[in-house]
Chains A and B, each alone.
Chain A
């Protein structure tokens, strides 16, 4: 991707976000469900309900509401959550790092498992044991992340209680950190005891998110490795006296990585989407978990803020994937 292309993509970001904002805003107001109805006590008077509606601006026409909200968002004000009664932006900033850390850990775990599985699989190519690897990948892929969450929770939280099954960290631990990126900050500042406690809580949800994605990485990479290994340059490397593992690692792998990153990278968005249910299952305090509460409570400002946040994450991820592919493939750099 050349700089012109990058600029074109960046210019497209605001209109994309605007489109997302329109859709979520309209959808929320078209589908049944009313945030005020969720928060009033039984027997509240019509006048009280009216006052609450006016307080949140819900008595205005939709277009008017949208214009007001958009104006606020543009100036960095995402409004106030109806159910939690806090500033939406503050809520997002407090919870987003937890989700980013979880998604990062899950992605890294998946990449490690996926790459190892693909390499083992390709080394066994043509042998009977290749089916074992393919079968294992198939099983991992067939079970969705939330089901893995329940399986792991039952296995390692209940039957063999090895790991904690809820929360981000033990409440008694004094964090005393500056940012909300607990894991990253504790590692960078050398507080490995805190990092360890955090990881302890993150292993199961991260693994639940990682396993299906690892299978996807393994399948994509193994197929690309097989395809690249049949190319002339890999065959000719054999005629130059390189061993097969050497060829796979140094000649074939850098080529196979390109389609794998291009296709697999965008699938990280699926993993991010998976955080919603998995965070809920493990009571992990990220934005996914918060999204479910927001939807249950019809918390319009919070839902809008969350959807925009996910949209920004997805756009950033797609850009990152394209940049990585460009770095890996010299043919794209020179057009």
Chain B
């Protein structure tokens, strides 16, 4: 079976600084994979690389990103664009800034449907109404005519989720979609993602730093640290029997009801030295944006 997403040995550099240092990761059809790590581990950068959204001074220096067996990095621009938004979709991090402020909700969704599926105006409108109902928006007709600033953050995130699943994507990259939301809304959003991915048969790469979220919805997970994959496997295995000290530290830093959280010790250098044969010390990693 061809993996929906197969990243092999991906290296990404900002200027001369490596942010991803040979990352490999698979997402199988219908699988939900969590991609976790602390800030700066490179997890969002991986999602951006798949979507072709790397910042201007950033480039892929090595590796392969295959979507359903086809190399996204090697294919023609037009071919890649026909996949993005249709077969590969994004649920962005910040619902407050991710919708166009001067366009009505209905038009933003409708344009996407017309662009990728070639629907007529009327058909797009009908489908938009369905999609909004699908993400539990009770009066879609009213919401269609509203501008983003007229609805709440949770509602905006639901609109963005509707847009992500609008064209039945094979892969959805969820880039910390709950980070900007408060806890009660977070749960609703997670349930929605779960429901929609089942209905549309999509695989999900769930980028997050929240192990609680991973435990809830991801079957498998990948732990990223300083641009490398530290640990990888079934979520239950990784969380119950973490092989790596860093994963244990991450787990210990997750607040739980039964005990206070420990501060995450950011980098245990001796352990990392153990793990990789090549000499690797954190002080050799240039800071992001450093010349």
Contact = CB atoms under 8 A, between A and B. Distances in A.
Contacts of A329: 102
Given A236-B90, A238-B53, A255 B101 contact: yes
Given A238-B53, A242-B115, A330-B149, A251 B85 contact: no
A231 interface: yes
A33 interface: no
A251 B83 contact: no
Interface residues of B, number: 30
Given A241-B81, A241-B84, A255 B52 contact: no
Interface in B122-166: 147, 149-150, 163
A232 B175 CA distance: 13
Contacts of A238: 51-53, 84
Interface in B186-216: none
B63 interface: no
B92 A236 contact: yes
A122 to B, nearest CB: 14
B97 interface: yes
A241 B94 contact: no
A158 to B, nearest CB: 48
Given A232-B92, A233-B99, A239 B51 contact: yes
B98 A233 contact: yes
Interface in B99-114: 99-103, 111-112
Contacts of B94: 232
Given A233-B100, A254-B102, A331 B116 contact: no
A255 B147 CA distance: 13
Contacts of B291: none
Contacts of B100: 233, 237, 251, 254-255
Contacts of B82: 241
B56 interface: yes
A239 B102 contact: no
A178 interface: no
Interface in A289-335: 328-331, 334
A253 B83 CA distance: 25
Nearest to B93: A232
Contacts of A232: 92, 94, 97-98
Interface string A219-239: 000000000000111011111
A108 to B, nearest CB: 23
Given A126-B56, A232-B97, 8 more contacts: A232-B92, A233-B99, A236-B92, A238-B53, A241-B80, A241-B82, A331-B147, A334-B149
15 contacts: A231-B97, A232-B98, A233-B98, A239-B53, A239-B85, A240-B89, A240-B115, A241-B84, A242-B85, A243-B81, A250-B111, A254-B100, A254-B102, A330-B149, A331-B149
